Structure 1
């Protein structure tokens, strides 16, 4: 269901969505918490990152929120019948504290943080730094999407009811971020390329600090 008016993003027409669950076979995607970023009168801002759960043959958590989200995250997983030990893979899209504040809860999971892939203290070779996707299986892959940080990644899920869903971290702040994302980018030219690729290939994008949004294309 649409949650707002159409917005032009990177030359593509997008529309915010009200739903947070995207069922599918074999994988479903659920936004456990939508991130936010709110400027304050003293020049600071309040921010927290989106937390997303992917369920299917593997259980994947994308971003863990800030350390202040610990109790919320544990409670929300428990409501879904899950504990930290049930999470197979944890992906940190990038290393900012509002996205990776609870990694330590998931000590048995495969960790993918930026371009690092590790199991415990064993770091596995992978092709992310060379621009290649790291496939969890044929339906879920971690794709390099640098710009916001040098080793930023996103998670692509195919076959949901909404089509291809991209859990994008801070590749996109929100649907209407055209006036803000550049101020937060380490490399705007590189991030623009990553954003264009996402807009070309994803049907729904879950941003780091706002509601999911659909990318509309001419049929």
Structure 2
């Protein structure tokens, strides 16, 4: 069963001048096929290489690079992984060859790992759904990019609404609810992993706009 390891925890906060300081969560899925999800900014090469090495993995051991969307803080070190297939949003490619493999709502990447189309933050977001374990218990972990900014945006939807595509707010609310119906834990784009409870599911269902 794949092991989910957070190499770097995402963050986001406002700094002097009203600017934002942020970086994404970077996650290693270690298993038969090693996968890295979201490769941070272009200045984070050493963080990623050291984090992988701590778990006995080198960039050449990565089979798949998955970027939940194409913003700069999620794709900055893709070129470390030149033996891997790359999936950026729903775009699947290796070198200069682009395939049409991700045509449906979901895409089975390898045993225990699938990708879901979950637009909202952008038009081309994907989430990674992993069958794994936490404390010896079988669980489903969703690595969602900026579909969820952080746990705080459960009760404060204005957090994710402020940075997403305005015309996709209902779609994002629907996909947020979809993901929590599937997952026991969420790894958000800019915060700590958190547990999904029935209360969380009820809350997110109530946040879907009614036409």
| TM-score for both structures, normalised by structure 1 | 0.84
**Aligned mate of 2:159, from 154, 177, 180:** 180
Shift of 1:126: 2.1
Q: Give the conservation status (yes or no) of the 8 Å contact 1:108–1:120.
A: no
In 1, Cα distance between the equivalents of 2:184 and 2:93? 30
Q: Give the conservation status (yes or no) of the 8 Å contact 2:23–2:41.
A: yes
Question: How far does the alpha carbon of each residue in 1:163-184 deviate from its partner, in whole angstroms, 9 at most, with x for none?
Answer: 1000010000001112310011
Shift of 1:136: 1.3
In 1, Cα distance between the equivalents of 2:56 and 2:68? 25
1:194 aligns with 2:167: no
In 2, Cα distance between the equivalents of 1:156 and 1:199? 11
Runs of 4+ in 1 over 4 A off after TM superposition: none
In 2, Cα distance between the equivalents of 1:56 and 1:204? 19
Per the alignment, residue 165 of structure 1 pairs with 141
Per the alignment, residue 57 of structure 1 pairs with 32
Question: How far does the alpha carbon of each residue in 1:181-211 deviate from its partner, in whole angstroms, 9 at most, with x for none?
Answer: 0011112111111101011111000000000
Q: Decide which structure has greater helix share.
A: 2
In 1, Cα distance between the equivalents of 2:84 and 2:125? 20
Per the alignment, residue 68 of structure 2 pairs with 93
Cα RMSD (Å): 1.3
Question: How far does the alpha carbon of each residue in 1:52-76 deviate from its partner, in whole angstroms, 9 at most, with x for none?
Answer: 0001111000001111111111111
1:43 aligns with 2:24: no
In 2, Cα distance between the equivalents of 1:165 and 1:68? 27
Q: Give the conservation status (yes or no) of the 8 Å contact 1:142–1:155.
A: yes
Structure with bigger RCO (C-alpha 8 Å, 6+ apart): 1
In 1, Cα distance between the equivalents of 2:142 and 2:17? 34
Shift of 1:160: 2.1
In 2, Cα distance between the equivalents of 1:28 and 1:81? 13
Counterpart secondary structure, 1:42: helix
Shift of 1:217: 2.2
